[in-house]
Each structure stands twice: as structure tokens, then as C-alpha cells.
Amino acid sequence: MSDVDPRSRRFWLQPRWLVGHVVVIVLVVAFTNFGFWQLRRLDERRQDNAVIAARSSVPVQPVDEVVVADAGFDDVGDLAYRRVTARGTYDSDASVLVRARALEGRPGFHVLTPLVLEGGGAVMVNRGFAPFTSDAAEVLAATRTAPGEVELTGLVLATQERQGIGPTDPPDGTLTEVARVDLARLQQQYGRSLYPVYLQLQDQFPPPNGLPTVLPAPEQTEGSHLSYAGQWFLFAAVGAIGWPILLRRTAKETGRATPLPDHRDELGPVAEDEATVPEPERVPQH
């Protein structure tokens, strides 16, 4: 017969253990969902890399042959990452800084400057990165372009939109700093008609001298999504496997520590004549 109290086998139905069951289930489900979310992000990253590779390999063409100048800002997404050339003169007085940017771990700005094209329109160019200082005017002065015409090659990029609860810019006035490359907002304060895309500078003649630093090409790596997914799935497995093991071990320890009840008290007092066994009568020997 087992010496484990049957009551010890039901300890896991006690309230504090029930709370533990719920917490573990919630965490396992959450960790599993996080893992699948990272796998979805990996798939998106691979698709983006394929798009960048395909469009960057298309032969370079003049910007006015690739982009319709009077198209809407939201109608050019399929042109992103095409490589184009442009020829014109920078309008340094209209430069604007994109704040909260970084390069190789250093905080700073991206420098946007309109390039006035020969035809009269202008295309906004992200000329690169400038280190952070508290005085925006100082950064703009340090990144002014040299006078004269330039010819450049750049990547076509679409206007940036606010995501979620991202920062906003004042709707009116002339801004020297913006939160993102919002071409509609920049058009509002610029006198010439802007192309519905902007260019990320890759190469230029004559070459730029000093700041800003030309940005590297967009990364085409898969990032850490796969390793992050593995970590989340591992956390889920620890909960799904470890919790039942803990319950089983606790049941064994509880069973060993709980003695069986003494049921003899339930039988009542034993009669004296029933408890006393008479000794056998001795027969005298002759």
C-alpha cells in the first residue's frame, strides 16, 4: 500500500498554485507569439532585401526619366531604391536638419538640401550625417555646400510618414529641424516645386568636402530576428516543460512529508476484557 496521502496529490488545485498555472500559460502563449512575430519580421526583412537588390541593379537613369515631377507624394513607392542621376545647384539657404539620427553609434542629424535642377524644379537630397550639437545654426553653417553646379548619383526614396506615436513637427512656419523627411511639409516652406521623392546621396562630382558624411548604402542583412525568435521559443519551452516537472517534484516531496492519519482512534476505546489475553493455566507436575 502507498504511504502517500491522497490529499498531497491535489495540492496543485490550491489557489496559489492555480495562479501559477495561469501565469505560466500566459507567459508561454506570449513568448510563442513573440517568436512568431520575429519570424514574420525576418520574412519582411528578406522581402525588403530582395526589393533593394532588384531595384538597385537597374541601370542608372536621370531622375526626370524615372520620376514624374508632378506625381503625388504617395504614388512613388514602387520607385524606392532605384538609382538615378541629377544635375543642378544646391540651395544651401533652404537646408533642413532631420534630428535624432545616428551613424556608427554617434548621435546627430541628417542634412537635407534642395538641388535645383536645370529644368527649374528641385529634388530634396539627403546629403549625409552631421554630428550633434545643441545649436542647429552651427550645424547648418558647417555643412554649407560650395557654390557651383554638381552632378550626383543617389537612391530614390519615398516621403516618410509618422508611425504610431512618433514625434510631430509644427504645421506652420519655416523649420530648420524636422522629425522625418516629410516632403509635403518641406514643400510647404519651399518656394520651388519639389519632386515627389528625395535622393540619398551616394556619389557626387565635384566630391563633397568635409561635412556632412555620406551615408552608407541600405543594409541588406537579415538582422537578429532569427536568433531573437529562437530565444523566445526557448523561453516558452522552459515554461511548458519546467512547470510540469516542478509540479511533479513538489507532489513527491509533499507526499513524503505528510504521514498517514492514525485510524485507530476512529475505532473507539478497546474493552479491557478484549485487550487482556489470559495466560494459560499451568498444570502442576508430580
DSSP state of 264: G
pTM score, whole prediction: 0.72
For residues 91 and 162, state if they share a domain: yes
Residues 64 and 154 in one domain: yes
- pLDDT tens-digit series, residues 79-91: 889 999 999 999 9
Has residue 193 got a pLDDT over 90? yes
Pair 154, 91 in one domain: yes
In a shared domain, residues 101 and 127: yes
With respect to residue 219, please indicate whether it lies within any of the assigned structural domains. no
**Does residue 158 fall inside a structural domain?**
yes
Of 205, 237, 268, the position where a domain reaches its end is 205
Tell whether 144 is covered by a domain: yes
> Are 201 and 108 contained in the same domain?
yes
Supply the DSSP string of 213-230, one letter for each residue: BPPPPPP---TTHHHHHH
Nearest-angstrom CA–CA distance, 100 and 89: 27
Q: Is residue 153 part of a domain?
A: yes
The verdict on 9 and 140 lying in the same domain is: no
Task: Look up the domain containing 151 and give its range.
Answer: 60-205
- Cα separations (Å) of 91 from 76, 117, 150, 218? 24, 10, 12, 26
Question: Does residue 120 surpass a pLDDT of 60?
Answer: yes
pLDDT digits (tens, 9 = 90+) for 15-59: 778 888 888 899 999 999 999 999 998 888 888 888 888 888 888
- pLDDT computed for residue 76 by the predictor: 77
Pick from 171, 205, 239: which residue ends a domain?
Answer: 205
Burial classification of residue 263, based on how many CB atoms lie within 10 Å of its CB (0-12 exposed, 13-18 middle, 19 or more buried): exposed
Task: Measure the CA–CA gap between 4 and 48, rounded to whole angstroms.
Answer: 61
Pairing assessment for the beta strands 96-103 and 177-178 based on DSSP bridges: parallel
Q: How many domains does the chain have?
A: 2
- pLDDT at res. 265: 53
For residues 44 and 115, membership in a common domain is answered with no
Q: Are residues 146 and 180 in the same domain?
A: yes
Same structural domain, 94 and 118? yes
Residues 52 and 69 in one domain: no
Q: Averaged over 134-163, what is the pLDDT? A: 93
Give per-residue pLDDT as tens, 152-189: 999 999 999 888 787 889 988 999 999 999 999 999 99
